[in-house]
Structure 1
Amino acid sequence: MQYKADSPEDYISQLPDDRKAAVTKLHNLIKDNMPEGLEAGIGYGMLAYFVPKSIYPAGYHCKPFPPLPFINVASQKNFIALYHSGLYAKKELYDWFVAEYPKHAKNKLDMGKSCVRFKKVEDIPYDLIKELLGKMTVEEWIDIYEAAIKK
């Protein structure tokens, strides 16, 4: 589901009551622990944490006008999704996350290439997500991104 929002606060205010607290907690956790240099805002109809144009003027290659995305959070119809581009782009980070997840959650991991889906708000492993946020710098993300688009 996409919400028409101009700010993270606007996005969160539109959520169903049963999602507001969890998405607010995720948003605050990410803002407080995201790699230095990222900015928070709205991108692609969801909460976005991105590399600003002041750091990476080239922007996102598919559409150079938006900044380079890194992390997103979305309230979808049947789940809350955390998108972390580093999980998709760096196999070691993906492997680490998959191995650590069972230590922090009672349910089976529901994950796509960069999307972790949480069907129940009480199943969100906030401590693991906090640890994930410290595993990749903005500079490392830019290097990985540039190497991938040059292929």
Structure 2
Amino acid sequence: MQISSTSIEDYVSKLPEERQEVFKKLFDTINNNLPEGFEENISYGMIGWGVPLGKYPAGYHCTPGSPLPFISVASQKNFIAVYHMGMYAKPELLNWFTEEFPKHSKRKLDMGKSCIRFKKMDEIPFELIAELSKKMTVDEWIRLYEANYKK
């Protein structure tokens, strides 16, 4: 479910009312904990943070001329999702997250390759998401991206 928007405020205003507060809290949790250098953007119908072209002019190989994506949040039909490309690229980070998750939630982890799905809005582990957001710098993400994906 992509939401066409021009800003975080516009995106949130288009969400069902019962999701707006929790989505904004999730946005703030990530935004306030990311290392310096990541920049907020809107792409693929999601709010995200990426490496700006000024820092990494090569940009994203799948969409030339666009910033290198890192983390995105989206309101999907049945859940809110956090997409963290760093966990997809760094198995140690994924292992850390999967080991930590049960310490912060009674629910079973619902996750794809880089997508963490939260179906119960009142059970999002914000402290864990804050810690996850701090775990990778812009320079580390660029190195991982180039080593794993850039052809």
* TM-score (ref. length: structure 2): 0.97
Structure 1 pair 150–67 and aligned structure 2 pair: CA distance change class (3 A)? closer
**What percentage of residue pairs aligned between the two structures are identical?**
60
Which amino acid letter does the alignment assign opposite residue 146 of structure 2? Answer: E
Moved over 6 A (4+): none
Deviation of residue 64 (structure 1)?
Answer: 1.2
Matched, 1:94 2:94: yes
* Residue pairs, 1:1-12, within 5 angstroms: 1-12=1-12
Which amino acid letter does the alignment assign opposite residue 84 of structure 1? Answer: H
Deviation of residue 12 (structure 1)?
Answer: 0.7
Aligned to 2:74: 74
Look up the SS of the partner of 1:74 in the other structure: strand
* Residue pairs, 1:95-114, within 5 angstroms: 95-114=95-114
Q: Distance in 1 between matches of 2:11 and 2:127?
A: 24
Which amino acid letter does the alignment assign opposite residue 138 of structure 2? Answer: V
Structure 2: segments with no counterpart, 5+ residues: none
Which amino acid letter does the alignment assign opposite residue 77 of structure 2? Answer: K
Deviation of residue 145 (structure 1)?
Answer: 0.1
Matched, 1:140 2:140: yes
Aligned residue pairs total: 151
**C-alpha RMSD of matched pairs (Å):** 0.9
Of stretches 77-86 and 33-42 in structure 1, the one that deviates more from structure 2 is 33-42
Contact 2:61/2:150 (8 A) holds in 1: no
Of stretches 141-150 and 78-87 in structure 1, the one that deviates more from structure 2 is 141-150
Deviation of residue 30 (structure 1)?
Answer: 1.2
Q: Distance in 1 between matches of 2:109 and 2:64?
A: 33
Deviation of residue 150 (structure 1)?
Answer: 4.5
Look up the SS of the partner of 1:47 in the other structure: strand
Structure 1: segments with no counterpart, 5+ residues: none
Aligned to 1:14: 14
Contact 2:40/2:49 (8 A) holds in 1: yes
* TM-score (ref. length: structure 1): 0.97
Q: Distance in 2 between matches of 1:54 and 1:125?
A: 33
Q: Distance in 2 between matches of 1:7 and 1:150?
A: 29
Look up the SS of the partner of 2:50 in the other structure: strand
Deviation of residue 43 (structure 1)?
Answer: 1.0
